[in-house]
């Protein structure tokens, strides 16, 4: 790894949109660091590890939920928005974390989970108490479809839940079903009720007044449901209908986000950052959501590139990744948001398998593929996100049996698919599916060092630690200039010191090449070229590119190169080799 000095370049020019120059780091608190030996990560654990984040150089932490929760979905089921779950600590711990981060020049963005609450939230308890409860209409209640008899098939519509089964659950007490797009312990709020919206805005203001710097909004494009709740299309091989056409970016979503902006962000938006998670987002929709004139969100997370290896049966089935498709997707998003709006850039989060195992090669080319994938992502236009452990090149987990899994999504899927099918072959196939596609890959503990349990906890970890922590850990990488960690540091630093990374125009080269990912970033003064071989076989550059490099790029500096021992011949890229060049325009 080489990083030429960048300091002669002017430091970042002032921008009123500070988050365009920022790198965000996501902390999934349950798996980050445990301070009290109960086997579960906590807020004090994060405070104790702030040196690591400062050393990496990131600007913002997105903290996954720490609110009071029965932990059915690890905190994405909130029962009190105003309190911290004792598993994670206290409100005082959180205040201390905010202050400690601010003292180090970092900002804290909290997760906002308001499409649904926990079924143990007081609002839902009151709502379910009777059909005439004052909060009945705060959630989405419907009569059975045909008669008063509650049998399978009598749900109000055919929508499936993201976590298997129907999206409806019968409440025996009142004889109606409530909607839950996620688990049955995550009932959907009724955003069409103005009291619900007011209660949410009040809570958001309370958190901002407490000093946090913005929100990552969980499945926020699902808040407005089509009023008729029509049946969704039943896609090949599935039991339940797909309701996304009727709640993905539904009829009032833009109106509600604009109202939220007025009620919560107005007057302080320049200090804040907002990002909305949107399973259904297209580039066209993202332009609307992130157009600053519309006053909705700063950026969105879309899912296009992380769906490209899904097989016909969805995320737990695989198809080979086609690099041409990956590049086409990225280029489409880069272009769509080039003049209006802004991209967020991610490979990983707490819901995605580890990128080095998924799109890279975690055996023969672990270092090379981790650094190459990081580079092609970070040097595009947009705000990059690093998920905890990604900066170490953490890999998927070698799960051995169903007892190693914790995530309700994987477990529900496995047991539902297994029902009525006792063949061990099917079980093995299902297990393989959740082992490669499951969210628990992202949730194994952060590997701090080579001690038992990787320095994550002194107790029994809530989920097994990856055995590769013996060699793959932060302690081994922190001071090694040839580590994945050092490479990520260089990428963060490059974004901070080289303005073309922030606003240079993006141009994809060799779009049809099945192995090479090549693009340029260009401003009036500077150009960068990123060249990566995303495959395990060497690849010669095509004639046109080789000529371009021999002419206009002949005296370009090599800013980054993940094969430091050999100089680059500008003719060919070795397996997972990546090079970043810079020249003046
Ligand atoms: C989002 C979260 C995921 C959670 C779901 C329901 O997709 O990222 O972890 O399970 O929403 O809240
Ligand atoms: Ca703990």
Give residue limits of the domains in the chain.
Answer: 18-115+193-397+449-489, 505-584
Q: Read off the pLDDT band of 2 (50, 70, 90).
A: very low
What would the pLDDT profile of 392-451 be if each residue is shown by its tens digit? 999 999 999 999 999 999 999 999 998 866 667 789 999 999 999 999 999 999 999 999
Q: Read off the pLDDT band of 4 (50, 70, 90).
A: very low
**410 CA distance to ligand 1 centroid (A)?**
13
pLDDT value at position 149? Answer: 58
Start-to-end CA span in the chain (Å): 25
Q: Whole-angstrom Cα distance, residue 113 to residue 350?
A: 15
Q: Read off the pLDDT band of 585 (50, 70, 90).
A: confident
Atom of ligand 1 nearest to the CA of 349: 8
Residue 92's CB: how many other CB atoms inside 10 A? Answer: 10
Kindly state if the Cβ of 76 falls inside 6 Å of ligand 1.
yes
Mean pLDDT calculated for residue range 294-315? 96
Atom of ligand 1 nearest to the CA of 116: 12
What would the pLDDT profile of 321-360 be if each residue is shown by its tens digit? 999 999 999 999 999 999 999 999 999 999 999 999 999 9
Kindly state if the Cβ of 22 falls inside 6 Å of ligand 1.
no
At 506, list the tokens. Answer: 């993006």
Ligand closest in space to the Cα of 352: 1
Instruction: Find out if CATH 3.40.50.2300 is the number for domain 18-115+193-397+449-489.
Output: no
Q: Read off the pLDDT band of 565 (50, 70, 90).
A: confident
pLDDT value at position 289? Answer: 98
pLDDT value at position 236? Answer: 77
Residue nearest to atom 12 of ligand 1 (CA): 76
pLDDT value at position 63? Answer: 98
What H or E segment, with its residue span, contains residue 62? strand 60-63
Q: Read off the pLDDT band of 150 (50, 70, 90).
A: low
Kindly state if the Cβ of 385 falls inside 6 Å of ligand 1.
no
Cβ atoms 217, 274 nearer than 8 A: yes
pLDDT value at position 439? Answer: 98
Residue nearest to atom 4 of ligand 1 (CA): 76
Kindly state if the Cβ of 62 falls inside 6 Å of ligand 1.
no
Instruction: Domain 505-584: state its class.
Output: mainly beta
Kindly state if the Cβ of 351 falls inside 6 Å of ligand 1.
yes
Q: Which of 66, 71, 73 to mutate to test the pocket of ligand 1 (most atoms within 8 A of CB)?
A: 73
**430 CA distance to ligand 1 centroid (A)?**
22
Kindly state if the Cβ of 77 falls inside 6 Å of ligand 1.
no
Q: Read off the pLDDT band of 5 (50, 70, 90).
A: very low
Is residue 9 predicted with pLDDT exceeding 60? no
Rounded percentage of the chain residues whose pLDDT exceeds 90: 92
Cβ atoms 378, 413 nearer than 8 A: no
| Residue that the structure tokens 């906590």 belong to | 42
What H or E segment, with its residue span, contains residue 43? helix 43-48
Mean pLDDT calculated for residue range 131-138? 98
pLDDT value at position 326? Answer: 98
Kindly state if the Cβ of 219 falls inside 6 Å of ligand 1.
yes
Q: What is the mean pLDDT of the chain?
A: 95
Q: Which of 279, 351, 387, 438 to mutate to test the pocket of ligand 1 (most atoms within 8 A of CB)?
A: 351
pLDDT value at position 1? Answer: 37
pLDDT value at position 253? Answer: 98
Residue nearest to atom 7 of ligand 1 (CA): 219
**584 CA distance to ligand 1 centroid (A)?**
44
**37 CA distance to ligand 2 centroid (A)?**
6
Kindly state if the Cβ of 218 falls inside 6 Å of ligand 1.
yes
At 354, list the tokens. Answer: 């580890």
**39 CA distance to ligand 2 centroid (A)?**
6
At 248, list the tokens. Answer: 């993905």
Rounded percentage of the chain residues whose pLDDT exceeds 70: 96
What would the pLDDT profile of 511-535 be if each residue is shown by its tens digit? 999 999 999 999 999 999 999 999 9
- Please report the DSSP string for 381-421 in residue order: SSEEEEETTGGGT-------SGGG---HHHHHHHHHHHTT-
* Angstrom distances, CA of residue 210 to CA of 99, 219, 257, 263, 585: 10, 24, 22, 16, 46
Cβ atoms 431, 402 nearer than 8 A: yes
pLDDT value at position 566? Answer: 77
Between β-strands 24-27 and 60-63, what pairing exists: parallel, antiparallel or unpaired? Answer: parallel
Mean pLDDT calculated for residue range 289-314? 97
Read off the DSSP letter of residue 168.
E
pLDDT value at position 11? Answer: 40
pLDDT value at position 263? Answer: 98
Cβ atoms 579, 525 nearer than 8 A: no
Atom of ligand 1 nearest to the CA of 279: 7
Q: Whole-angstrom Cα distance, residue 97 to residue 42?
A: 11
Mean pLDDT calculated for residue range 94-99? 98
Residues whose beta carbons lie less than 5 angstroms from ion ligand 2: 34, 36, 38, 40, 42
What would the pLDDT profile of 362-392 be if each residue is shown by its tens digit? 999 999 999 999 999 999 999 999 999 999 9
Atom of ligand 1 nearest to the CA of 163: 10
**76 CA distance to ligand 1 centroid (A)?**
6
At 480, list the tokens. Answer: 């090694």
**36 CA distance to ligand 2 centroid (A)?**
5
pLDDT value at position 36? Answer: 98
Q: Whole-angstrom Cα distance, residue 188 to residue 434?
A: 26
Residue nearest to atom 2 of ligand 1 (CA): 218
Kindly state if the Cβ of 346 falls inside 6 Å of ligand 1.
no
Q: Whole-angstrom Cα distance, residue 265 to residue 279?
A: 24
Mean pLDDT calculated for residue range 83-88? 98
Long-range contacts of residues 143-148, Cβ cutoff 8 Å, at least 24 apart: 143/175, 143/176, 143/177, 144/170, 144/175, 144/176, 144/177, 148/175
Mean pLDDT calculated for residue range 87-96? 98
Is residue 172 predicted with pLDDT exceeding 80? yes
**HEC per residue, 284-301:** HHHHHHHCHHHCCCCEEE
**221 CA distance to ligand 1 centroid (A)?**
12
Kindly state if the Cβ of 182 falls inside 6 Å of ligand 1.
yes
Residue nearest to atom 9 of ligand 1 (CA): 351
Q: For the CA atoms of 481, 485, 489, 491, what is the dihedral angle to 10 degrees?
A: 100
Is residue 148 predicted with pLDDT exceeding 60? no
Mean pLDDT calculated for residue range 37-60? 98
Q: For the CA atoms of 291, 294, 300, 304, what is the dihedral angle to 10 degrees?
A: -70
**307 CA distance to ligand 1 centroid (A)?**
16
Annotated catalytic residues are 218, 277
Angle between helices 424-437 and 408-418 (to 10 degrees): 160
Kindly state if the Cβ of 73 falls inside 6 Å of ligand 1.
yes
Atom of ligand 1 nearest to the CA of 183: 6
Is residue 34 predicted with pLDDT exceeding 90? yes
């Amino acid at each position: 790894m080489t990083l030429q000095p960048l300091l002669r370049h002017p430091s970042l020019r002032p921008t009123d949109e500070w988050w365009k120059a920022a790198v965000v780091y996501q902390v999934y608190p349950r798996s980050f660091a445990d301070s009290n030996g109960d086997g579960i990560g906590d807020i004090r654990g994060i405070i104790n590890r702030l040196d690591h984040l400062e050393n990496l150089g990131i600007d913002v932490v997105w903290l996954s939920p720490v609110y009071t929760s029965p932990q059915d979905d690890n905190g994405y089921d909130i029962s009190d928005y105003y309190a911290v779950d004792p598993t994670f600590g206290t409100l005082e711990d959180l205040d201390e974390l905010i202050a400690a981060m601010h003292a180090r020049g970092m900002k804290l963005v909290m997760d906002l989970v308001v499409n649904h609450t926990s079924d143990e939230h007081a609002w839902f308890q009151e709502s379910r108490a009777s059909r005439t409860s004052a909060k009945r209409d705060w959630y989405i209640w419907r009569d059975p479809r045909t008669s008063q008899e509650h049998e399978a098939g009598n749900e109000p519509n055919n929508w499936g839940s993201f976590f298997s089964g129907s999206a409806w659950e019968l409440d025996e007490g009142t004889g109606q079903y409530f909607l839950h797009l996620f688990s049955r312990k995550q009932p959907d709020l009724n955003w069409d009720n103005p009291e619900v919206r007011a209660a949410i805005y009040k809570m958001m203001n309370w958190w901002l007044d407490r000093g946090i710097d913005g929100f990552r909004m969980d499945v926020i494009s699902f808040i407005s449901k089509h009023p008729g709740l029509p049946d969704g299309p039943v896609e090949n091989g599935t039991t339940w209908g797909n309701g996304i056409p009727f709640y993905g970016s539904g009829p009032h979503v833009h109106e509600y986000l604009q109202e939220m902006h007025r009620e919560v962000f107005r007057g302080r938006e320049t200090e804040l950052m907002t990002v909305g998670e949107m399973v259904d987002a297209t580039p066209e929709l993202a332009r609307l959501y992130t157009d600053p004139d519309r006053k909705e969100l700063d950026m969105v997370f879309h899912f296009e590139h992380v769906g490209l290896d899904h097989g016909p049966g969805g995320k737990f089935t695989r198809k080979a990744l086609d690099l041409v498709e990956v590049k086409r997707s990225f280029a489409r998003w880069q272009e769509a948001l080039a003049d209006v709006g802004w991209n967020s850039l991610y490979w990983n989060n707490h819901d995605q398998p580890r990128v080095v195992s998924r799109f890279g090669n975690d055996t023969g080319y672990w270092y090379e593929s981790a650094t190459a994938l990081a580079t092609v992502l970070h040097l595009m236009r947009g705000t990059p996100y690093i998920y905890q452990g990604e900066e170490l090149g953490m890999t998927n987990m070698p799960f051995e049996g169903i007892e190693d899994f914790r995530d309700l999504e994987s477990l529900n899927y496995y047991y539902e698919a297994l029902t009525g099918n006792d063949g061990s072959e099917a079980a093995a196939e299902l297990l393989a599916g959740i082992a490669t596609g499951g969210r628990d890959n992202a949730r194994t503990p952060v590997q701090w060092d080579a001690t038992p349990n990787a320095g994550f906890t002194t107790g029994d970890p809530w989920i097994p630690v990856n055995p590769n922590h013996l060699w793959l850990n932060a302690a081994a990488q922190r001071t090694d200039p040839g580590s994945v960690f050092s490479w990520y540091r260089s990428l963060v630093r490059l974004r901070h010191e080289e303005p073309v990374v922030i606003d240079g125009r993006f141009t994809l080269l060799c779009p049809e090449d099945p192995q090479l990912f090549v693009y340029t970033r260009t401003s009036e003064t500077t150009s960068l070229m990123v060249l990566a071989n995303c495959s395990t076989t060497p690849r010669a550059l095509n004639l046109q590119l080789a000529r371009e490099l021999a002419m206009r790029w002949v005296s370009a500096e090599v800013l980054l190169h993940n094969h430091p021992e050999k100089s680059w011949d500008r003719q060919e890229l070795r397996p997972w080799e990546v090079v970043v060049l810079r020249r003046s325009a």
